[in-house]
Structure 1
Amino acid sequence: MRGRKGEEGCELLADLAEAGALDAEPITYEDFLPASAAGIFQSNLASTSNESRQSTAESASIKVDESEARRTLEAAVGGTILDYLTLYSEQQTQSLVEVGAILGTDVDTLVQTTMRQGA
């Protein structure tokens, strides 16, 4: 959480956490399934096309780009697969806004500094 020199926002967060004024809780992903897993499901999907009946070895050798993998996985699960990095970023920003509200301070700089660092 410590920021680089000149990155006061992250230093402030680290100092507040160390002083016990903030409780830093990590965001965990318990039900996470990446879009790249679509390739795993591809061989298990029922299909009438001859292409899908290729052997597992042949199927594994086919390169599937990320967008195609995402579409395949979404079709298999019947819904939209959300971008976990975007979700994490939104949760982190909301948390920083709440901290700013509690402290009675503007956190725009803090949020931007933290997001820029990827903290």
Structure 2
Amino acid sequence: MTRPQRITLTIALLVIAGLLIAFTTLKWDQANRLATVASLVVAVLSLGAAVFFGLRPAQPPRRGGITVRNSGNARATGAGSRATSGAAGAPGAASGPVEVSDSGDAEARDGGRGTSGWESRP
């Protein structure tokens, strides 16, 4: 839970506790008036929140980049085999930056294919 969420929850719980104490100590007519005013305040705040969040522009979903660090060595032996030390993915797999650092050696033998770093695969 984030700090603003904790603060909001604490304030809400304090307000609820205060209202409960007031309702148990006040006479019926006074408690009735307090409940009416509290209901009005909550209704106005709810309407304001609905309008505020309803008018905000929709945010596109965020997709992050790819980060690979300290990958090990890779070896491909034989035709059609692949060895990737780092990362591989389809074009557009990462909408953000692709960062590969300290990738290991990629060794290919006998018709294999090796990549050290980033390889874009269909």
* TM-score interval (norm. to shorter): under 0.3
With the length of structure 1 as denominator, give the TM-score of the two structures: 0.20
Which is richer in helix?
A: 1
Which is richer in strand?
A: 2
**Larger Rg over CA atoms:** 2
Larger RCO, structures 1/2 (Cα 8 Å, 6+ apart): 1
With the length of structure 2 as denominator, give the TM-score of the two structures: 0.20
